[in-house]
Structure 1
Amino acid sequence: MITLARAEPAHLPAFKRELQDAFGKAVIETFGPLTDGPIPSDEDIEQSFAEPGAVILEILRDGRRIGGAVLTIDEETQHNELGFFFIAAGEEGRGQGLEAWRAIEAMFPQTRVWVTHTPYFEKRNIHFYLNKCGFRIVAFHHGHHRDPDMPELGEVPGGDEMFRFEKIMPAR
């Protein structure tokens, strides 16, 4: 059974490394070895940890961390963001991501809209968000149509091409 726990500050360095390993795996499979450091960068992750409304969750199976999520919860609008979501390398492919996402939705039942982004090349993520979790693609951002809410993505492979997903939650 999957459970969620708010990450303790002492766990954040390991959380960050596991997140980078999970994200880096898809980049390496698509573009080859990383040459400019981990993806996402330490700075990007730390910035997400410091956002107003940030909630850092550990995804646990039998008390052992198998993944994590970084959310931004807007208490006023309840238009909440899934900034980072990962199942640790070696733990994926067992339905744990969907179980974790359902637990996140249950933890924040007041959410009206969830928003997330994923790179165009990340077919597993696209399948997961569309076909498993019920999100819809609402925009395709690229060099000629940038997302005004996201900073420059720099030299990340495929960084200029991202899908924006939204999930409108049923009224409760």
Structure 2
Amino acid sequence: MVYDGVLEGKYVDLRSCTEDDAEFTREIRKDPEFVKFLPAIDNTLEQQKNWIRHQREKEGDYFFVVWDKEGNRIGTISIYDVNGQHAESGRLAIKSKNPFQALEAQILSFRFAFGVLGLECIDGFIFADNDRAIRFNQQFGGRHYPPAADEEGREIIRIENWREDFEAVDKKLSSILYRKRK
């Protein structure tokens, strides 16, 4: 689906992905930094454009490109499989040395899911050996469950992010993220 607005932050903005983003989204999913923990894609530019067209029409799926404040694409993030009061969060791939950008992208996506879409819970799934992503996700107040094997035998950790838990940590994270710096 398409969100017509821009989710604006201090460090990044989130905009619905368009066909113009096809090459960027295709390349980021081929980046060795990300393919270890995201399903790799091996498609043509035209296939990626078709996937984006389909994604923009798919009910309950929101795929955003993350832009820095200089107007550069730096990543992707999604809220998808919206089903009643639940959805899944994922496809987070940010190429930035500024940790505030990834943090703010996740905050903006959760604010969108809980505030705009009115969801109550967002599930996330992380490979158990992705220590960096696990540490990153612990900041958001989610409930982590013991690893379980997926279809390919890889251990996956499920995280439930509930609205009330996120609202509590959002205030804390925002005070750190948006405090005045000297």
Q: Same fold (TM over 0.5)?
A: yes
Distance 1:129 1:81 in 2: 14
Task: Report matched runs for 1:42-81 at 5 Å.
Answer: 42=42, 46=51, 49=55, 52-62=59-69, 63-74=71-82, 77-81=84-88
| Equivalent residue, structure 2, for 1:101 | 106
* Structure 1 Cα separation of the partners of residues 97 and 78 of structure 2: 18
Give the Cα–Cα distance (whole angstroms) in 2 for the partners of residues 135 and 20 of structure 1.
29
Tell me how far apart the structure 2 counterparts of residues 105 and 97 of structure 1 sit (CA, whole Å): 12
Corresponding residue number in structure 1 for 2:30: 20
Is 1:122 aligned to 2:134, yes or no?
no
Deviation, 1:57, is 0.1
User: Structure 1 stretches (4+) deviating beyond 6 angstroms?
Assistant: none
Alpha-carbon offset, residue 94 of structure 1: 2.1
Aligned length: 143
> Given the alignment of the two structures, is residue 169 of structure 1 paired with residue 166 of structure 2, yes or no?
no
- Structure 2 distance, partners of 1:135, 1:54, is 21
2:136 aligned partner, one-letter code: F
- Secondary structure in structure 2 of the residue aligned to 1:162: strand
Residue 71 and residue 42 in structure 1: after superposition, are their counterparts in 2 closer, same or farther (change >3 A)? farther
Take 1:137 and 1:95, find their aligned partners in 2: how far apart are those partners?
23
Distance verdict in 2 for CA 1:42–1:165, change over 3 Å: farther
Maintained 8 Å contact 1:19/1:67: no
Q: Return the structure number with greater helix share.
A: 2
1:92 CA displacement: 4.0
Query: What's the CA shift for 1:20?
Result: 3.4
User: What is the Cα deviation at residue 102 of structure 1?
Assistant: 0.9
Give yes or no for contact 1:51–1:72 (8 Å, CA) kept in 2. Answer: no
The 8 Å contact of residues 12 and 101 in structure 2, kept in 1 or not, is answered as: yes
Provide Cα deviations, 1:5-31, integer angstroms capped at 9, x if missing partner: 00102312321321331413xx39xxx
> Residue 3 in 1 paired to residue 33 in 2?
no
Q: What's the CA shift for 1:85? A: 0.9
CA distance in 1 between counterparts of 2:135 and 2:42 reads: 27
Mark the CA change 1:51 to 1:137 in structure 2 (over 3 Å): closer, same or farther: farther
8 A contact 2:79–2:109 mirrored in 1: no
Compared CA separation, residues 59 and 78, structure 1 to 2 (3 A): same
| Structure 2 unaligned spans of 5+ | 1-10, 168-182
- TM-score of the superposed pair, with normalisation by structure 2: 0.66
The runs of 5 or more residues in structure 1 that have no matched partner are: 29-37, 147-151, 154-158
Q: Distance in 2 between matches of 1:140 and 1:122?
A: 12
